[in-house]
A and B are shown apart, each in its own frame.
Chain A
Amino acid sequence: MSADAPVKSDPDIGEYQYGFHDSTDFYAFKSRKGLDEAIVRQISAMKKEPEWMTEFRLKSLELFFSRPMPAWGSNLNTIDFQDIYYYMKASDRQEKSWDDVPEEVRRTYDRLGIPEAEKKYLAGVKAQYESEVVYGSLKEDLAKQGVLFTDTDSAMRDHPDLFREHFATVIPPADNKFAALNSAVWSGGSFIYVPKGVHIEFPLQAYFRINSQNMGQFERTLIIVDEGASVHYVEGCTAPTYSSESLHSAVVEIIVKRGARCRYTTIQNWANNVYNLVTKRAMAYGDSLMEWVDGNLGSRITMKYPAIYLMEPGARGETLSIAFANHGQHQDAGAKMVHCAPNTSSRIISKSISKGGGRASYRGLVKIQKGAENCKSNVVCDALILDSHSRSDTYPYIEVEEDNVTIEHEASVSKIAEEQLFYLMSRGLTEEEASAMIVTGFIEPLVKELPMEYAVEMNRLIELQMEGSVG
């Protein structure tokens, strides 16, 4: 059993404590490496999908092959798409009790603290391991009120009309090369439906785990919040540390109907060999509120710009983005706000930290379409650079097709001041503790927006990133 195998850690970058992995000997199925029509057909057949989905996948595959790699952002040319496993499953079924989950897998989630968190403060959990969801739960009272929280494959099977009405309507396969890839090989992900007027008090959490080397994880999440309802969904992700690359390319579609609220929180903590190329988009209708809280700490390269389309008057969108780029990492993260209707408002707050030669880029778009009068948008980006060989960039794009609008953009870049370090150290804090405290303080205005448990987790992850930072 290799679950307890020692993890190689680079003393310069602090220890990534989720870098352990399990054996794959017990897996129920493992596809061959590489991507072609046969693999896509195999995935679809194994899932016993309807004809329309097989067709959808094959069309998407064509789009993926025909589209060029993005020429902006980070360098993705090192990804070898034929050296990746596109589908693996550890077990044949999703369980409702942790006791029934294969022991190796259960132990991983125990180490990640998921069953414990579930007992304490979650309304429901989905645990995806490789390509499939291996465990799922939802509090009974929510199920009784008609809340659906299931994996996306089951949703297609069990709620075909609701599923088909919304699937790929927010992010069509042709949207971008990686949306096309996901559409071709998607597996797992969360499906949530919150009926009219239902408020889910505690968060629903999904936990994504990659275990194998050269793995591709392509979950597909679809959230529908019906009129006047509300939900907070949280996702976390980790993977073992390998020398070869893995690929995570998700698509997340959200529909927030009139007067509804949705908050989607991500704490992305992939190992440093994972390419994280994710498309996330929400449609917010009249007087609704959509919020992305996007924390990117792990991965080798992340390119992710959660978008909100403000579709009707009174819709509000907010994105809080935290990126931490350490040695060997490029976090190209940000947000998109598209104002399609008058009297809509948006806010983007981005805080990035770069350290140990890491690079953090903010890339954001605020777009105001013709006719979207009286819109307001406010963008604040702060970057903190911890040493002279790290890098921070800001790429703000603003497209305005209407006169009567208010757009504010502020950006700042700062370095940890010697005076701040000295002051804290003169009170008996080590240089490491002092730096960590300054960094924690820098992101505090965002972290305090998180529920307590996640704020604690975020601060802990930041502290881990700061460990070993002083030579």
Chain B
Amino acid sequence: MNSLLKITDLHVSVDDKPILKGVNLEVRQGEIHALMGPNGSGKSTLAYALAGHPKYEIIGGTIEIDGTPLNDLDACARARMGMFLAFQYPVTIPGVRVADFLRHAVTNMRSPDRKEGEGLIPMREFRQELRAYMSELGMDTEFARRYLNDGFSGGEKKRMEIIQMAMLKPKFAILDETDSGLDSDAVRVVSEGVNKLSGPEMGVLIITHHERLLEFNRPQFTHVMLAGRIVETGDASLAHELHANGYASIRERHPVESQEHEELVTTV
């Protein structure tokens, strides 16, 4: 059965400031959705709120996977339900080696009922799998021994996010500007990587300003966000049109949200 991520009338505040004002969205396993919109429209807020960042407070509406509400679950529980966020700015954890961290995370995901002190997944098996994905994403296997994101370039960090996604095999992956700040070669590698990983087992929500990622991962649905709401939904051609012509026509079609957006962005 295909799993369903269902977001209903979602309202989210950060530091008591409302950012999302009633988002409705359904993503099924196997689907690719693009989420677009000008800076400050609430795309990253939606990503963090879905993943369960404690600063992003849900003040109304629901997030559900197959009918199970996620609102009150912490980030760990949501991850174990199949949620994954590829960060726009991956966090550095000094002293923690990529392989150690990932082996722990993978074990937790694959045996969520594991008791304290029970073994991690076998080293050999884990290492083989990690190496395969690293070479696919063009990462030197030496990175497995490095401290997590410590001293990584922008492109290396983004590739590491996709490697984590590959290892953790989520039901729903949110890619928050995974293609930003990368040169065109790196965008291609990441795009191909996502393409190989997406399939019937994974629903993908791609947040992006660029077209390359969507060329490799053609969305069935494109959503446009403005002032904390999804104001339009179309197919891949909508994404193409926005790339070509910008958001001017969207603003014209949605003057109220456009006005709200201007106020929000200028007060920041």
Q: Given A428-B108, A429-B104, A437-B101, check contact A423 B93 (CB 8 Å).
A: yes
Q: Given A423-B90, A437-B104, check contact A444 B96 (CB 8 Å).
A: yes
Contact call A441/B105, Cβ cutoff below 8 A: no
Contact call A420/B93, Cβ cutoff below 8 A: yes
User: Which residue of chain A is the closest to B149 with respect to CB atoms?
Assistant: A423
Q: Report Cα–Cα, A356/B95, bound state, in Å.
A: 23
Q: Given A422-B54, A423-B87, check contact A441 B94 (CB 8 Å).
A: yes
Contact call B101/A426, Cβ cutoff below 8 A: no
Most buried by B among A419, A425, A440: A425
Q: 5 smallest A-B Cβ distances: which pairs?
A: A441-B95, A444-B95, A441-B96, A425-B75, A423-B91
Contact call B101/A424, Cβ cutoff below 8 A: yes
Contact call B93/A424, Cβ cutoff below 8 A: yes
Which residues from chain A sit less than 8 Å from chain B, CB to CB?
A: 417-420, 422-431, 433-434, 437-438, 440-445
Residue from B90, B147, B164 within 8 A of A441 (CB atoms):
B147
Q: Given A418-B55, A433-B104, A437-B101, check contact A425 B94 (CB 8 Å).
A: no
Q: Mark B48-84, 1 if CB is under 8 A from A, else 0.
A: 0001111100000000000000000011101110011
Which residues from chain B sit less than 8 Å from chain A, CB to CB?
A: 51-55, 74-76, 78-80, 83-85, 87, 90-91, 93-96, 101-102, 104-105, 108-109, 112, 147, 164, 168
Ordered by A's residue number, 21 sampled pairs between the chains whose C-beta atoms are within 8 Å are A422-B51, A422-B75, A422-B91, A423-B93, A424-B93, A424-B101, A424-B105, A425-B74, A427-B79, A427-B105, A428-B79, A428-B109, A428-B112, A429-B104, A430-B108, A437-B104, A440-B95, A441-B94, A441-B95, A443-B95, A444-B96
Count A/B pairs, Cβ under 8 Å.
79
Q: Report Cα–Cα, A47/B76, bound state, in Å.
A: 60
Contact call A431/B74, Cβ cutoff below 8 A: yes
Q: Given A424-B101, A426-B85, A429-B108, check contact A438 B79 (CB 8 Å).
A: no
Q: Report Cα–Cα, A308/B181, bound state, in Å.
A: 50
Q: Which residues of A contact B109 (CB under 8 A)?
A: 428
Q: Given A419-B91, A441-B147, check contact A425 B79 (CB 8 Å).
A: yes
User: Which residue of chain A is the closest to B79 with respect to CB atoms?
Assistant: A428
Q: Which residues of B contact A419 (CB under 8 A)?
A: 91
Q: Distance (Å) between the CB of A416 and the closest chain B CB?
A: 10
Most buried by A among B76, B83, B105: B76
Q: Which residues of A contact B85 (CB under 8 A)?
A: 426
Q: Which residues of A contact B95 (CB under 8 A)?
A: 440-445
Q: Which residues of A contact B102 (CB under 8 A)?
A: 427
Contact call B76/A428, Cβ cutoff below 8 A: yes
Q: Which residues of B contact A440 (CB under 8 A)?
A: 95-96
Q: Distance (Å) between the CB of B4 and the closest chain A CB?
A: 21
Q: Distance (Å) between the CB of A231 and the closest chain B CB?
A: 29
Q: Which residues of A contact B55 (CB under 8 A)?
A: 418
User: Which residue of chain B is the closest to A447 with respect to CB atoms?
Assistant: B95
Contact call B93/A431, Cβ cutoff below 8 A: no
Q: Which residues of B contact A426 (CB under 8 A)?
A: 51-52, 75-76, 78-79, 83-85
Most buried by B among A427, A438, A441, A444: A427
Q: Which residues of B contact A428 (CB under 8 A)?
A: 76, 79-80, 105, 108-109, 112, 168
Most buried by A among B84, B87, B93: B93
Q: Which residues of A contact B112 (CB under 8 A)?
A: 428
Q: Given A418-B54, A418-B55, A422-B54, check contact A429 B76 (CB 8 Å).
A: yes
Q: Which residues of B contact A427 (CB under 8 A)?
A: 79, 101-102, 105, 164, 168
